[in-house]
Structure 1
Amino acid sequence: MKAGSDMPREKLIEMGSKALTNSELIAILLRTGSSEMDVLELSQKLLKKYGSLTKLLAADLSEFSSIKGIGPAKAVTLKAALEIGNRVFKEIASTTRKSLRDPESVYYLCHDMTLLEEEAVRVISLDSKLNLSGYDTISLGTIDSSLLHPREVFKQAIKKAAAAVIVVHNHPSGDPTPSIEDIKITEKLSEAGKIIGIKLLDHVIIGKGKYYSFSASKSFDVLEVQHVVAREGYGTYKATR
């Protein structure tokens, strides 16, 4: 239907982009529907299939192209737009969170790890005042204490003259509860950090809307964390010197 394909564009012009629903924004990217449904119906079908924009971002290009009504051109446009949104969030996070004071700030800096389908390890380097010096992904795949050598964890931190590091890794299952292997890794890295002179400030495990902090020794739900912080004052990091 012509009205169906034109309305989201007109609504954006008249009311601004914030007034549009997710399906309306996607409809603008898709531009046209198929012979069986208009573009709004197609975008709604797409959202229903994946359930959220986050899951849309994680989907492969080939998955989009396999959906009837979404050819290669539409798939590429959609994937590019979603990736731009992801990069904007990461850019904001990396520029506004110069100082990491608690596990919550670590979660938001590394939220993109929730999209990964395999485990990865990221090392965040900090100066003595907990200002961000940079971060590096050092491992991708199954996390094993026999494979994750302290040398790899602290190598980039030493180059950045870091006073402390925070190790972050994800659980693709969505459950951030630490495994026995995670506990072994944390103990090994903590001891190595003492010898090197670079403190392991925390080890944060990223899940789906949840994260676990070894420094706080507990899991947090992202939607409830503000109330937890106000009530308990959990896991605030302290400057190293």
Structure 2
Amino acid sequence: MHIHEWPAHERPREKLLARGAAALSDAELLAIFLGSGLRGEDAVATARRLLAEHGPLRRLLDAGPAALAGLRGLGPARACSLTAALELGTRHLAADLARGEALTDPARAGAYFARRLRGLPHEVFAVLFLDTRHRVIAFEELFRGTIDGAEVHAREVVKRALAHNAAALMLGHNHPSGSSEPSAADRAVTLRLKSALALVDVRVLDHFVVGDGPPVSLATRGWV
């Protein structure tokens, strides 16, 4: 049965218009993007097959344009469109952080770190620099490492903070293993950076660890 023959309230586009995007399943959202399915399949069936074979959703979307282009049901054109859509989402989130409003909600900052760092095959340590009113100045990836660690140099973090004339900052790094639980080393480097930055009157507000689930805030745990 073609999607147009489904009851109106079950069609992905009609459901989105009536109830919002959050009401749709991963397959339904992907089906709207696909527009049509492979021969003999509707778009939802093709989307479900893609998720069953290459999912879950985050794994599929983190595959990268070259890998997406080789998947049956996507191809180069759809892979490029999907990658562009994901980048638009990242830039929208970045624009939200750069509107000149004080960054007071840890969840917003955590979501931004997650979007930038999740899915990377190696560990990356990044910093979000803030002014005296905790408005965003810049986001920089400062250190790259291996699958299980990145060496962090306090001197370089202090140097970049001074270059941006930052009054405060937030730290973040990913765990390629998928675990977002902070390690003893994560806690130690947080305290080391906090001490070094305090010497130049720059506050460390939080440190986020990004894994498969929601990012973990060390400040929420009382470790900053």
Task: Please tell me the TM-score bracket, short chain as reference.
Answer: 0.7 to 0.9
Aligned to 1:99: 102
Aligned to 1:178: 182
Distance in 1, matches of 2:110 and 2:103, equals 10
1:211 to 208, 215, 224: 215
Aligned to 2:56: 51
Are residues 204 and 72 of structure 1, via their aligned partners in 2, closer, same or farther at CA, if it must alter by over 3 Å?
A: closer
**Does the 8 A contact of 2:126 with 2:139 survive in 1?**
yes
Deviations along 1:25-66, one digit per CA (max 9) or x if unpaired, are 4334434433343333112212333122x3332112233333
Matches within 5 A, 1:144-155: 144=150, 147-155=151-159
CA drift at 1:189: 1.1
State the percentage of identical aligned residues. 29
Count of matched residue positions in the alignment of Structure 1 and Structure 2: 214
Distance in 1, matches of 2:100 and 2:111, equals 9
Are residues 26 and 216 of structure 1, via their aligned partners in 2, closer, same or farther at CA, if it must alter by over 3 Å?
A: closer
Of 22-31 and 155-164, the range deviating more from structure 2: 22-31
Aligned to 1:124: 128
Structure 2 unmatched runs, 5+: none
- Please report the TM-score for the alignment, with normalisation by the length of structure 2: 0.75
The list of structure 1 runs, each at least 4 consecutive aligned residues, that deviate by more than 4 angstroms after superposition, is: 5-8
Distance in 1, matches of 2:94 and 2:64, equals 20
CA drift at 1:107: 0.8
- Please report the TM-score for the alignment, with normalisation by the length of structure 1: 0.71
* Alignment of 1:67 onto 2:68: no
Distance in 2, matches of 1:123 and 1:160, equals 12
Distance in 1, matches of 2:71 and 2:78, equals 11
Aligned to 1:225: none
Q: Secondary structure at the match of 2:47?
A: helix
Letter in 2 for 1:137: E
Are residues 194 and 39 of structure 1, via their aligned partners in 2, closer, same or farther at CA, if it must alter by over 3 Å?
A: closer
2:170 to 155, 158, 166: 166
Are residues 136 and 38 of structure 1, via their aligned partners in 2, closer, same or farther at CA, if it must alter by over 3 Å?
A: same
* Alignment of 1:108 onto 2:101: no
Distance in 1, matches of 2:130 and 2:64, equals 34
Letter in 2 for 1:201: L
1:190 to 194, 197, 206: 194
Are residues 5 and 218 of structure 1, via their aligned partners in 2, closer, same or farther at CA, if it must alter by over 3 Å?
A: farther
Aligned to 1:230: none
Aligned to 2:45: 41
**Does the 8 A contact of 1:175 with 1:210 survive in 2?**
no
